[in-house]
Amino acid sequence: MFAKAVVLAGVLLGFANVARCEPPFNNPPGVDVWCGKAYRETDSSFDPGGWLEPPSSNGTLGLMLNVVPRYNFYLDMELEGSFVVDTRAVGSGSSGYLDGYNGSSTNLLLTVWNANVTLLSNVSVSVNASGIEVPFDLNLARTGGESFQVEGRSSHGGQTYISTVSITWLPERDDGGSMARLDRLNGGIHISSSMTSGNWKSIFPVGFYTRWDWISWLIDPENNPEPDNLASNETKSLQEFKEQGYNLVHPVPPGGWESFNDTVFEKFLTICDELELYVMYDMRHTYLNLSSISTQLPRLQSHPSLLLYYTGDEPDGWTDPLNGTILAYNRIREIDPYHPVSLVLNCYNFYFEEYTSGADIILEDTYPLIKSSTFSTVYNTVCNQTYGDCGCDFCHVNNTAYPEFEGLPFKDVVDRTDNFYQFQRWIGQKETKPVWGVPQWFYDADSFWSRWATKEEAVVMALLRVNHGAMGVVGWIFPTSPEIQAATTEMAGVLTSEDVTRLLTEGTGKHLTPSYGADDIDAAAWVWEDEILVIAIWPKYTSGGRVCIPLPTEGKDVSDIEVLLGVAWSADGGTLCREEIQPLEVSVLRAKIGGY
């Protein structure tokens, strides 16, 4: 995760089935780059390219008819499925959008068919809406094949929109391994394994990238000495790690083509199987070698703790080949179609479409606690859109040229999360890939970052991401400071609890706007049946006055408010109020909705 901490260029040469171009594809000869930009004071600025622009519009409306299966795969034994339908109307000219929507229809009649079978016929769906769930008969669909035509006809018959949809079926596993699939309605990840008694279980992942030397020492202390320079060393086992509320561990490989010691890693996986501690398997040093992928994956297949794969670690920063992530993705899917693939992007906006083509889940690692967003003390250069590296790419914290950031030190985190969802809409992507966040839960005194996060900052950086759609939180790096560990342990215990996970992964989420008080309050709610979860964050170092937030309860009152984390708010009907907001204050609240 640390920019340029280890020089990988040239390491991958000489191996078969390697996707690599040397030097990085966009830089002038001899110029070192990060996010495509020169960063040494001996080099001049140049346009790095790769900047994704919003789609152009000719001033008329276009309509996207987007239909995807709710899950990225179904099992052969399942009988019921559903489609997720998106009918948003936007400016014409957007990639993937259809011209000609005149705004006169409020609904479309949806038909899904192929030459063998009709799954849906003239089902009415609203126009300019998203997240519409429409059930269909999976057993009937299987008789028709995998690919289907989609037609949306306006209710008055004057306009017709055409699309396609594909459904994937897989046989149920019989080797003891897990199956993890993505929910395209709510963005969550669901797992089925022997640890869940074969049932599908929703997971809201909260954990850490974790030092492999620390894990190796825990598992095999006789052959692995206790690592030096551990920020905190109070946790003495993976069981203690799990008991602290974390449900995900992401071992960081030490490097080289062997990646992990096979014997120790097998012991590690077995312990995780016993603890129901889910594993994010990292191939950062090897994902560009397709032969290495083929060697690594088979040993993982029988372990129920495997949740997902991770390929590129900041491939946009390193300017890895643009086709590297998709080549790795395709090889992984050939071997294991049961687990999603993830990667993390470090750059603000650099070949987003190309790098994310090889991922089901996109992580961002925006680190706002930096010494400066405008001048690199490491490289003695300015930092801007086309030059320099300050540790948080094109971030604006404490930059007077961006007054909207004044007093909002974590706005870069919010914007990056929002942007990664918006970029997907710009490129007309059919399925929305979940975004996960990587909070700054580390400190490197000799680099860009100014200090350890406080316990309040550690929680704020995580919960802001959740409020803006992050479906997982994986901090860099464990072991961390005692203060961060204590704060994140408390938060993880809340977010990973069964009730909160259900609300976050099954509920209908909505970002909230205050009816009274400062707009800087960041709040979101998730509604599931008669329950509501509210997360409210004051992301400023100064205090605020009275704030009231209306809740999405359709006019119903809320009651039985339970404070799960942070401070209490009072209820006035269907509105929450707090008389005075303290710096970096957070609240995670659960309540009942009246009238059910």
Q: Is residue 103 classed exposed, middle or buried when 0-12, 13-18 and 19+ CB atoms within 10 A define those classes?
A: exposed
Q: Are residues 149 and 281 in the same domain?
A: no
Domain membership of residue 138 (yes or no) is yes
Q: Are residues 231 and 258 in the same domain?
A: yes
Residue percentage of the chain with pLDDT more than 90: 81
Does the global pTM surpass 0.85?
yes
**Structure-token pair, residue 445:** 């005194």
pLDDT for the residue numbered 595? 61
pLDDT tens sequence across 445-466 = 889 998 999 999 999 999 999 9
Report the C-alpha gap between 343 and 311 in whole angstroms. 5
pLDDT for the residue numbered 205? 98
**Structure-token pair, residue 457:** 């900052």
pLDDT for the residue numbered 53? 94
Token look-up 């602290």 returns 244
HSE-CB for 518 with a 13 A CA cutoff: 20
pLDDT for the residue numbered 222? 86
pLDDT for the residue numbered 408? 95
Q: Is the pLDDT of residue 275 over 70?
A: yes
Greater model confidence, 340 or 88: 340
**Cα separations in angstroms, 403 against 19, 383, 397, 398:** 43, 17, 10, 9
Q: Are residues 340 and 439 in the same domain?
A: yes
Domain membership of residue 502 (yes or no) is no
Average pLDDT score over residue span 394-408: 95
C-alpha closest to that of 295 among 304, 286, 303: 286
**Cα separations in angstroms, 69 against 72, 96, 165, 201, 365:** 7, 18, 8, 18, 29
Domain membership of residue 54 (yes or no) is no
Domain membership of residue 52 (yes or no) is no
Q: Are residues 69 and 90 in the same domain?
A: yes
Lowest mean pLDDT among 126-130, 368-372, 571-575: 126-130
pLDDT tens sequence across 115-169 = 999 999 999 999 889 999 999 999 999 999 899 999 999 877 778 889 999 999 9
Report the C-alpha gap between 557 and 86 in whole angstroms. 31
Token look-up 């309509």 returns 63
pLDDT for the residue numbered 331? 98
**Structure-token pair, residue 115:** 């030459």
Q: Are residues 327 and 222 in the same domain?
A: yes
pLDDT for the residue numbered 5? 37
Residue ending a domain, among 463, 497, 531, is 497
pLDDT for the residue numbered 266? 96
Domain membership of residue 55 (yes or no) is no
Helix (H, G, I), strand (E, B) or coil at 326: helix
Q: Is the pLDDT of residue 558 over 80?
A: yes
pLDDT tens sequence across 60-76 = 667 888 999 999 999 99
Domain membership of residue 49 (yes or no) is no
CATH of the domain at 151: 2.60.40.10
Q: Are residues 422 and 304 in the same domain?
A: yes
pLDDT tens sequence across 281-333 = 999 999 999 999 999 999 999 999 999 999 999 999 999 999 999 999 999 99
Q: Is the pLDDT of residue 12 over 50?
A: no
Q: Are residues 365 and 467 in the same domain?
A: yes
Number of domains in the chain: 3
Q: What angle do CA 454, 458, 460 make, to 5 degrees?
A: 115
Q: What are 61's strand-pairing partners?
A: 91
Report the C-alpha gap between 31 and 271 in whole angstroms. 46
Q: Is the pLDDT of residue 18 over 80?
A: no
Domain membership of residue 38 (yes or no) is no
pLDDT for the residue numbered 105? 59
Q: Are residues 357 and 433 in the same domain?
A: yes
CATH of the domain at 420: 3.20.20.80
Q: Are residues 234 and 323 in the same domain?
A: yes
Residue ending a domain, among 468, 497, 526, is 497
Report the C-alpha gap between 201 and 540 in whole angstroms. 36
Write out the residue range of the structural domain in which residue 156 sits.
Answer: 61-170
Average pLDDT score over residue span 205-225: 93
pLDDT for the residue numbered 258? 65
Helix (H, G, I), strand (E, B) or coil at 245: coil
Q: Are residues 491 and 521 in the same domain?
A: no
Domain membership of residue 408 (yes or no) is no
- DSSP H helical ranges for 347-479: 352-356, 411-426, 455-467
Residue percentage of the chain with pLDDT more than 70: 91
**Structure-token pair, residue 20:** 């690599």
pLDDT for the residue numbered 357? 98
Lowest mean pLDDT among 99-108, 173-182, 228-237, 401-410: 99-108
Q: Is the pLDDT of residue 471 over 60?
A: yes
pLDDT for the residue numbered 103? 52
Residue 36 in contact with residue 63, Cβ under 8 Å? no
- DSSP H helical ranges for 89-150: 138-142
Q: Are residues 213 and 320 in the same domain?
A: yes
Residue ending a domain, among 497, 529, 551, is 497
Average pLDDT score over residue span 193-212: 96
Q: Are residues 226 and 251 in the same domain?
A: yes
pLDDT for the residue numbered 106? 80
